[in-house]
Copies of this chain bind each other. A is one copy, B any other.
Amino acid sequence: MSQASKLALNADELSAYLAEVFPSVWADFEIDAITDDSATVRLRVEDAHLRPGGTVSGPSIFALADLAAYVMVLGRIGRQALAVTTNCSIDFLRKPRSGVDLIGRCRLLKMGRALAVCDVLICSEGDDRPVARASLTYSIPPAASAAARAG
């Protein structure tokens, strides 16, 4: 007998929702996996994300961290475009490898009434040494919080 999932949306439902609300942004991203307390999101690195020299830009790495956390939070609270990032602390650790995707692995550390806190480790595909780490706080709209508690 399996334990009930705490997810409100699965990977396909999340992808469809993000493509609907953030069409131009989401086109570069993909959900590799999601569980009750983790999410793996991929940035398909294109020329638009690169700085001279072939490295992925800081804002693109930030965007991956932010979206990995957003996928995790929406996965738990459902279709709530109003969940907003209130804080992000990010360390840039190494130059990404050129020519490969970036993978963001998010852990959900707290799913509270008002705030959700995640951390995200970002690596170049095929390389375990982290390119960046980030921690993010999302503010949850009261309606979503109430629904999550009722559900």
Contact = CB atoms under 8 A, between A and B. Distances in A.
Interface of A: 21-22, 25, 51-52, 57-60, 62-63, 66, 81, 84-94, 109-110, 114-115, 117, 119, 121, 130, 133, 135, 137, 139
A78 B66 CA distance: 32
Contacts of A86: 91-92, 115, 137
Given A21-B52, A22-B52, A91 B133 contact: no
B58 A62 contact: yes
A26 to B, nearest CB: 11
Nearest to A119: B133
Given A21-B52, A89-B88, A90-B88, A133 B109 contact: yes
